Amino acid sequence: MFFRRVEIRIYLSFLKLLGLIRYLLLLFLGPLMLFSQEDCLLGIGGKDDEMIRTVFELTDEQIEQMRNWGAELQFRNEIFEIRAQNLLKNHAQSSVEDLLIMSHKYKALLDSMQNNIKLLDKRMLGIFTNDQYNLYIMLCNQVNRSPLYAPRSMNEK
C-alpha cells in the first residue's frame, strides 16, 4: 500500500512536470510565433544583410549604417543571450515554482531581444527613401505581415 501511494505521487509529480513543460513551451514559443506573424521585420544584423542590400538597392551610406546597427544589435542581444543561458543553467534542477519564476524572467529577456530587433529595423527604415519604404510595405503586404512605422528622414534626396 505504501509503495502504491509513492507510485501515485511520483506519477502526479510527473504529470505536473509535463504540464509545466507544455506551459513553458507555450510561454517561450507562443510569443515568437505571434511576433513573427504580426510584424514585418527586416532582420538587420543577421544572415539577411546581403539580401536587404540587394532587394532595396541600398546606397553606400545606408550599407554602412546597416553594418553599424547590425553590430550594435549583436552587442545588445549578446548580453541578453548570456543572461538567458545563465538563467537556464542555474535552474536546470529547480522546483516547479522556481521554473515558473524562471520562465517569466526568460520571457522578459526574449522580449527585450525582440524590442532591440524592432528598434534597429525602425532606424534602418527611417533612412530608406520613399521608393525603398514603399517596396518594404509592398513586400510586407504580400506576406501578410504588418509593416513597421518608421519616422521618415527629413534629409531625403
Question: Could you please report the per-residue DSSP string of the chain?
Answer: -HHHHHHHHHHHHHHHHHHHHHHHHHHHHHHHHHHHHHEE---TTTTTHHHHHHHTT--HHHHHHHHHHHHHHHHHHHHHHHHHHHHHHHTTT--HHHHHHHHHHHHHHHHHHHHHHHHHHHHHHHTS-HHHHHHHHHHHHHTT-EEPP-PPPTT--
| pTM confidence score | 0.63
* Per-residue model confidence (pLDDT) at position 83: 79
Comparison of pLDDT for 110 and 2, the residue scoring more: 110
- For the chain, domain boundaries: 2-147
* Least confident interval from 22-26, 44-48, 79-83, 84-88: 22-26
* Per-residue model confidence (pLDDT) at position 100: 75
